[in-house]
Chain A
């Protein structure tokens, strides 16, 4: 290909993924998504329950995450440690994670362990084995998890633990999802039984299986292992919505390990499910702002003005834009060497946002950002386990696993005017700012 062809801005044709999806629902309400792909002898199994840390009760911060740990401590037919051992001695890997709106459990396995994996998930959906000893053990483990990821680490939990209490007002949105030690230590076996009964009903879950599978046979295995689980009504899902901010909010936090300061800005953004197009415009804008050396804030704040060491803009608590229902946020974070430069950083940031709002993006800018984004979405979907997790997540949050395959087209429909409107909406009165003060003077 001649070199000139890559220099000329062009509207690139985005490849469209094709996934054959099979849907089913069991009489007990469990929703099922199958995504067969026989190119490699591996399968991914994901079970998502429609409960995350936004649903945990006051006085029990961190409970949804602690409960996730308890789901690995044995089940109807399995002793403690058996789950791990069965997955790994089958040649597979496992994990689970707790999010604001859901909790996932998953295995990647050689495909000859498919039925075993389904059995393991069904067994704990039927009945986890939670007792005083397991609870005390996992409270200790979770406290070490919080120490290693938050308390003993510079910038630990920043900004996902620091921003929500400033940006939001209600307990579900504002509280610490990792949990206070006092709350964790107060958790009881009875709390766990209540939480399981209320939220871990089959009708409140999605099961997705991707990879080397025969759909008919797999549906038969799923029915065999999951259909005997009794039906319980799914709990009504609360509306976590909050009125928009009317003025900028500011707060600060001291980090005793951090050698240089950092800042996080959280902007309230439109409902990611009901206003998907506005959400996608925000997603493309975030990429244009900070993805790579060609992005606007990298060029301005890092390369030209040298005000910050790094800068990053993303949607959702942990950088997954499709992870959360309303209300969610667009986050911008930066580390910067000079503690006195925060006002200049904020002013420059606002100037750059105003530049997009006033003049729009450059010719070809939206297109290249979109091409890269779609390419990275494909890349993520190469692993059967991420495929299973994503199909389950889109089925749970967006009620349509198929939406993943449609995202390239939906993104292609976002125009310059949409990106401009997205930038215009990122006004100071819609944001919260948390300044992290560096208390670690040992540099």
Chain B
């Protein structure tokens, strides 16, 4: 195209401005519920996140938990399904519930002036959800339909196959329940699960918004006064070590792409080597300016996007790497992936690469906690792993102090390609041969 008309240099950064210090109030209620209230002015809203531990090794747990999550808002002592939803709407609010292997999460938001009546509705759900039989039966069918839709997606099939490959029989390998297990769940079982597990002892409630932190903590204590009790102790096996082994190839009829997934154990956020690993992961594949993306997308055009993330669970953290690539370049894409892993595990990243990753990690943490919703989600996730709001202030300092040697050491130990479980979902007839030339295929 036209030649550059002007010559200019990229402007330097000006002096950074510090974020305002958060006003937070932490309080543990008599019921054992931990409350974290944070004043964050902005839009006239409040964000609410209530996180209850929901980890269980029982075989029927995932199916019951999924159905509980889908029906907990369908009736209380006071409201039926529609009047509960209408009441929340009238307050300018939104209320939802979802579950994974670690936790049940009640999340919502509401106009700040309506926080108290909103919490009254939430309290009514926690202490008085009725699980009407007709709603449980109807939602059971819908859940089966939605699971069928979910599993028709290549990405969902691939994530499930990777979890199974990494964690075998552990509850973490069954995030989505199986349809026959769902069909066997009764309303009575869901009610019993609520009575056992929807308890304040060990739960964390985060409230962030345009409200006074102290007054909010008082309002929460008063609104949730009637919610009491502790869940019975659970025994869940430790996360098994991910064992290296042959690539798992899952055939998906009609696939025009292969979904490539790699996983291995990573480090918890409170591990002292975590900041170094976070930077190593960014340099490898954790953001757009990473080696993996610049290689297989911007140089070779194999994929629309590749991404490597460190995911944090209650029992441990893991790498989750994903890229969907054209069928005919499946093996070359895996080759480049293994090359980039091998390279970062064997040779230290450059100073510039580490500096870029460091600024990105610090800057995006500030961006993601600059909104009420982002701050509430982050604080909730931290609290679920035993970390408080001080982590947000301390982590940038830890990132700033990471040395090149520490990044290289973390990469050498944890990003070595031999550590990774590999799964490919795609047209097996087309990709098995080329993949088998690179790595053993199961």
Contact = CB atoms under 8 A, between A and B. Distances in A.
A89 B355 contact: yes
Contacts of B253: 442
B254 A383 contact: no
B52 to A, nearest CB: 22
B184 interface: no
A115 B422 CA distance: 43
A47 interface: no
Interface in A339-372: 364, 367-369, 371-372
Contact of A443 (B42, B148, B363): B148
B135 to A, nearest CB: 8
Interface stretch (A38-46, A237-245, A275-283, A412-420): A38-46
B11 A90 contact: no
Nearest to A287: B89
Contacts of A148: 257, 304-305, 324
B89 A294 contact: yes
B82 A293 contact: yes
B11 A115 contact: yes
A40 B19 CA distance: 6
B18 A41 contact: yes
Nearest to A86: B10
B395 to A, nearest CB: 14
B370 A6 contact: no
Given A113-B13, A144-B303, A80 B298 contact: yes
Given A88-B287, A259-B149, A189 B8 contact: no
Residue in B8, B44, B92 with the greatest tally of chain A CB atoms within 10 Å? B92
A77 interface: yes
Interface string B289-315: 100001001111111110000000000
B141 interface: yes
A141 B301 contact: yes
B128 to A, nearest CB: 13
Contacts of B235: none
Contact of B45 (A75, A189, A369, A375): A375
A379 B367 contact: no
A89 B301 contact: no
Given A80-B298, A299-B82, A42 B13 contact: no
Given A144-B302, A154-B152, A259-B152, A90 B90 contact: no
Contacts of B89: 291-292, 294, 368-369, 371-372
B111 A15 contact: yes
Contacts of B355: 89
Contacts of B373: 379, 382
Contacts of A192: 1
B11 A116 contact: yes
A146 B105 CA distance: 34
Contacts of A258: 149, 152
A206 B141 CA distance: 49
A289 B237 CA distance: 46
Nearest to B146: A309
Interface stretch (A58-66, A119-127, A315-323): A119-127
Contacts of A182: none
Residue in A193, A212, A292, A369 with the greatest tally of chain B CB atoms within 10 Å? A292
A144 B326 contact: yes
Interface stretch (A97-105, A128-136, A391-399): A128-136
A108 B371 CA distance: 12
Residue in B2, B81, B87, B372 with the greatest tally of chain A CB atoms within 10 Å? B2
B16 interface: yes
Nearest to A140: B301
A76 B10 CA distance: 11
B87 A6 contact: yes
Residue in A3, A76, A259, A372 with the greatest tally of chain B CB atoms within 10 Å? A372
A110 B366 contact: yes
B370 A306 contact: no
A115 B14 contact: yes
Residue in B11, B74, B113, B325 with the greatest tally of chain A CB atoms within 10 Å? B11
A57 interface: no
- Name the interface size band of chain A: 35 or more
Interface string B145-167: 11011011110000000000000
Contact of B43 (A81, A92, A116, A378): A378
Contacts of A110: 16, 363, 366-367
B429 interface: no
Contacts of A381: 43
A88 B93 contact: no
A127 B4 contact: yes
B298 A382 contact: no
A382 B153 contact: no
B289 A81 contact: yes
B120 interface: yes
Given A91-B363, A110-B366, A85 B289 contact: yes
Interface string B88-130: 1111111000000000000001110100110011000000000
B90 A12 contact: yes
B5 A126 contact: yes
Contacts of B13: 90, 112-113, 116
B359 A90 contact: yes
B43 A112 contact: no
Nearest to B114: A6
A140 B152 CA distance: 25
B1 A196 contact: yes
Given A40-B20, A151-B256, A375 B92 contact: yes
Contact of A6 (B7, B18, B120): B120
Nearest to B111: A375
B356 interface: yes
Interface of A: 1, 3, 5-7, 9, 12, 15, 17, 39-42, 75-78, 80-81, 84-86, 88-94, 108-116, 119-120, 123, 126-131, 136-145, 147-149, 151-155, 189, 192-193, 196, 212, 228, 230, 256-260, 291-295, 299, 302-303, 306, 309-310, 335, 337, 364, 367-369, 371-372, 374-376, 378-379, 381-384, 440, 442-443
21 contacts: A39-B20, A85-B356, A91-B362, A91-B364, A92-B360, A115-B11, A127-B3, A128-B1, A131-B1, A141-B297, A148-B304, A151-B256, A291-B89, A292-B89, A303-B138, A368-B86, A368-B89, A371-B111, A372-B89, A375-B109, A375-B111
